[in-house]
Amino acid sequence: MSLLADRVALVTGGSRGIGRAVALALANAGAKVAVNYHERSDDARTVVDAIRSAGGRAMAIGADVSRSADVSAMVAAVERDLGPIDVLVNNAGVAIIRGVDDLTEEDFDRTIAVNLKSAFLCTQAVVPAMLTRKWGRIVNISSGAARGAGGVGVHYNASKAGMEGLTRGYAARLVKDGITVNAVAPSLIETDMVRSGLVSSASRIPLGRFGTAEECAHVVLMVIGNAYMTGQTVPLSGGLSFN
């Protein structure tokens, strides 16, 4: 992945889980990495320390990516410290588990803001510099819930389905300028959300186990490295579902 040597990457929600694994993988591929966090500053700094210990460059940057002012300030800070952003991974998200009967308007609005609006705000913020350089890679972390029932709730389904629509819309409009936009859609990855009780057993997964955050990171690197792939959603489900 010499393609990423001296490239600058921003990973939203990069302090733990899939975001952490993606940040470490990007650094290992040669990128300078900005690790965004909202509340988990210590976790984000642990990721940064790991990257620096391996000889890479990284920074932790706090921001609520559902707020435009925070996003603008975050992108400006990354550009000052590391340089213009070449790779954006929209990973930040919330999974508020609700049934139809107890889902509130507040739950719905927060989920859409953090999972979907944030991807829009961050993409809008980094695209102008990518257009100037005629090169960019944007990867949105979706979910199998975008196309299936899922276990979190209809608000989560809607946010992830919207993210995949956003992916296709940007891909169609940016491809001629050397910018690719793709999505990765994991299902039942062994993260805090699954460990907290969303799924008690991996028995219904044909492969017989949950996926790992590192396996998600491998797919993110794959789509970043392929200049011909754009507008696609790559599922990662252990055989649980197929496109």
The residues annotated as belonging to the active site are 156
Q: Helix, strand or coil for residue 77?
A: helix
Backbone dihedral angles phi then psi of residue 37, each to the nearest 5 degrees: -145, 160
Q: Helix, strand or coil for residue 240?
A: coil
Task: Give dist(CA 217, CA 136) in Å, integer.
Answer: 18
Which two three-digit tokens encode residue 179?
A: 């910018």
Task: Give dist(CA 44, CA 36) in Å, integer.
Answer: 7
Residues 6+ apart with CB under 8 A from 154: 100, 103
127 alpha-carbon distance from chain centroid: 16
Q: Helix, strand or coil for residue 74?
A: helix
Task: Give dist(CA 12, CA 85) in Å, integer.
Answer: 13
